[in-house]
Amino acid sequence: MRLLERMRKEWFMIGIVLVIAAAKLEPSVGVNGGPLKPEITVSYIAVATIFFNSGLSLKTELRT
Q: pLDDT tens, 10-61?
A: 999 999 999 999 999 999 988 988 888 888 888 899 899 999 999 999 988 8
Q: Which of 49, 22, 16 is nearest to 35 (CA)?
A: 22
Q: What is the number of other CB atoms lying within 10 angstroms of the CB of residue 53?
A: 9
Alpha helices in the chain (DSSP H): 2-9, 11-25, 38-40, 47-56
Above 70 in pLDDT, residue 64? no
Q: What is the structure's pLDDT at 48?
A: 93
Note whether residue 39 is domain-resident.
yes
Task: Note whether residue 64 is domain-resident.
Answer: no
User: 8 near 1, Cβ under 8 Å?
Assistant: no
For residue 49, what are the domain limits?
2-56
The pLDDT of residue 63 is above 80: no
Angle subtended by helix axes 2-9 and 11-25, to nearest 10: 80
Residue 30 lies in a domain: yes
pLDDT at 30: 87
